Amino acid sequence: MQTAYTVLILLTLVGVSRLLARVIPLPLPLVQIAAGALLAWPTLGLHVALDPELFLFLFLPPLLFSDGWRMPKRDFWRYRGPILTLAVGLVIFTVIGAGYFIHWLLPSVPLPVAFALAAVLSPTDAVAVSAIAQDRLPAPIMRMLQGEALMNDASGLVTFKFALAAAITGVFSLTDASLTFILVAVGGLAVGVVLSWVVGRFRSWMITRGWDDPATHVVFMLLLPFAAYVLAERLEVSGILSAVAAGMMQSWVDLLPRQTSTRLLNRSVWTLLEFAFNGLIFLLLGLQLPDIVSAVTHHEETLWPALLWRCLDVLAIFIVLAILRYVWVRSVWRLMVQFRRWRGQSDGALELSARSTLLLTVGGVRGAVTLAGTLSVPMLIAAGVEFPERDLLIFIAAGVILLSLVVASVCLPLLLRGLVSEPDLRLKREVREAWKLTAQAAIKTLESEDVPGATGSPDAAQAVLATEVKSRIMSEYRHRLEIFNDTAEAQALAFQMDQLEKRMRINALRAQRLELYSMHRHRKIGDDVLRLILAELDLSEANLGVVK
Do the beta carbons of residue 120 and residue 397 sit within 8 Å?
Answer: yes
* Confidence category of residue 326, pLDDT binned at 50, 70, 90: very high
pLDDT of residue 87: 87
Greater pLDDT, 81 or 439 = 81
Segment 485-489 mean pLDDT? 65
Local structure of 121: helix, strand or coil: coil
Percent of the residues in the chain that have a pLDDT greater than 70, as a whole number: 81
Examine the pLDDT at 316 and tell me if it is beyond 70: yes
How far is it, in rounded angstroms, from Cα 227 to Cα 219?
A: 12
Among 147, 158, 159, 154, residue whose Cα is nearest residue 192: 154
Which residues in 159-194 are b (16+ Cβ under 10 Å) and which e?
Answer: bbbbbbebbbeeeeeeeebeeebeebbebbbbbbbb
pLDDT of residue 511: 82
* Confidence category of residue 44, pLDDT binned at 50, 70, 90: low
CA–CA–CA angle 403, 414, 424 (5° rounding): 110
Q: Please state the φ and ψ torsions of residue 166, each to the nearest 5 degrees.
A: -65, -35
Do the beta carbons of residue 292 and residue 395 sit within 8 Å?
Answer: yes
**Lowest-pLDDT range of 152-161, 240-249, 441-450:** 441-450
pLDDT of residue 256: 54
How far is it, in rounded angstroms, from Cα 91 to Cα 120?
A: 9
pLDDT (tens digit per residue) in 424-435: 566 566 666 666
pLDDT of residue 97: 92
CA–CA–CA angle 142, 143, 145 (5° rounding): 65
Do the beta carbons of residue 262 and residue 212 sit within 8 Å?
Answer: yes
Do the beta carbons of residue 409 and residue 26 sit within 8 Å?
Answer: yes
Segment 461-489 mean pLDDT? 71
* Confidence category of residue 224, pLDDT binned at 50, 70, 90: very high
pLDDT of residue 400: 92
Examine the pLDDT at 324 and tell me if it is beyond 90: yes
pLDDT of residue 457: 52
Segment 509-514 mean pLDDT? 80
pLDDT of residue 20: 86
Do the beta carbons of residue 127 and residue 343 sit within 8 Å?
Answer: no
How far is it, in rounded angstroms, from Cα 99 to Cα 106?
A: 11
Q: Would you give the end-to-end CA distance of the chain in angstroms?
A: 48
pLDDT (tens digit per residue) in 66-79: 878 877 777 788 88
Examine the pLDDT at 226 and tell me if it is beyond 90: yes
pLDDT (tens digit per residue) in 96-141: 999 999 999 988 888 888 998 999 899 888 667 776 766 677 778 8
How far is it, in rounded angstroms, from Cα 188 to Cα 545?
A: 39
pLDDT of residue 428: 64
Which residues in 337-368 are b (16+ Cβ under 10 Å) and which e?
Answer: beeeeeeeeeeebbebeeebbbbbbbbbbbbb
* Confidence category of residue 289, pLDDT binned at 50, 70, 90: confident
Segment 362-376 mean pLDDT? 80
Examine the pLDDT at 472 and tell me if it is beyond 60: yes
How far is it, in rounded angstroms, from Cα 224 to Cα 230?
A: 10
Do the beta carbons of residue 221 and residue 266 sit within 8 Å?
Answer: yes
380 pairs with which residues across the strands?
A: 386
Greater pLDDT, 186 or 509 = 186
pLDDT of residue 415: 83
Cβ-proximal residues to 356 (8 Å cutoff; 6+ apart), any chain: 138, 141
Please, is 126 exposed, middle or buried when counting C-beta atoms within 10 Å of its C-beta (0-12, 13-18, 19+)?
Answer: buried
**Lowest-pLDDT range of 103-107, 421-425, 482-486:** 421-425
| Whole-Å CA distances, 120 to 158, 188, 318, 531 | 9, 19, 13, 49
Determine how many CB atoms are found less than 10 A away from the CB of residue 259.
18
Examine the pLDDT at 263 and tell me if it is beyond 80: no
Examine the pLDDT at 350 and tell me if it is beyond 70: no
pLDDT (tens digit per residue) in 135-147: 677 778 888 888 8
DSSP state of 348: G
* Confidence category of residue 382, pLDDT binned at 50, 70, 90: low
Among 417, 390, 411, 398, residue whose Cα is nearest residue 322: 411
Cβ-proximal residues to 474 (8 Å cutoff; 6+ apart), any chain: 443, 446, 447
Do the beta carbons of residue 398 and residue 288 sit within 8 Å?
Answer: yes
Segment 293-322 mean pLDDT? 84
269's enclosing H/E stretch is helix 260-297
Amino acid at 55: F
Examine the pLDDT at 501 and tell me if it is beyond 80: no
* Confidence category of residue 319, pLDDT binned at 50, 70, 90: very high
**Most trustworthy range by pLDDT among 27-36, 216-225, 256-265, 350-359:** 216-225
**Lowest-pLDDT range of 213-217, 273-277, 348-352, 444-448:** 348-352
**Lowest-pLDDT range of 73-77, 81-85, 213-217, 396-400:** 73-77
Do the beta carbons of residue 59 and residue 280 sit within 8 Å?
Answer: yes
pLDDT of residue 136: 74
Segment 229-237 mean pLDDT? 90
Do the beta carbons of residue 398 and residue 317 sit within 8 Å?
Answer: no
DSSP state of 376: T
**Most trustworthy range by pLDDT among 47-51, 66-70, 83-87, 138-142:** 83-87
pLDDT of residue 381: 67
Do the beta carbons of residue 337 and residue 357 sit within 8 Å?
Answer: no
pLDDT of residue 160: 84
Report the DSSP pairing between strands 380-382 and 385-386.
antiparallel
| Whole-Å CA distances, 70 to 361, 443, 534 | 23, 31, 29
Examine the pLDDT at 5 and tell me if it is beyond 90: no
pLDDT of residue 389: 79
Residue 412 CA, chain-centre distance (Å), reads 18
Segment 254-267 mean pLDDT? 67
Greater pLDDT, 14 or 384 = 14
Segment 35-45 mean pLDDT? 77
* Confidence category of residue 452, pLDDT binned at 50, 70, 90: low
Amino acid at 49: A
pLDDT of residue 175: 73
pLDDT of residue 140: 80
Q: What mean pLDDT is reported for the chain? A: 79
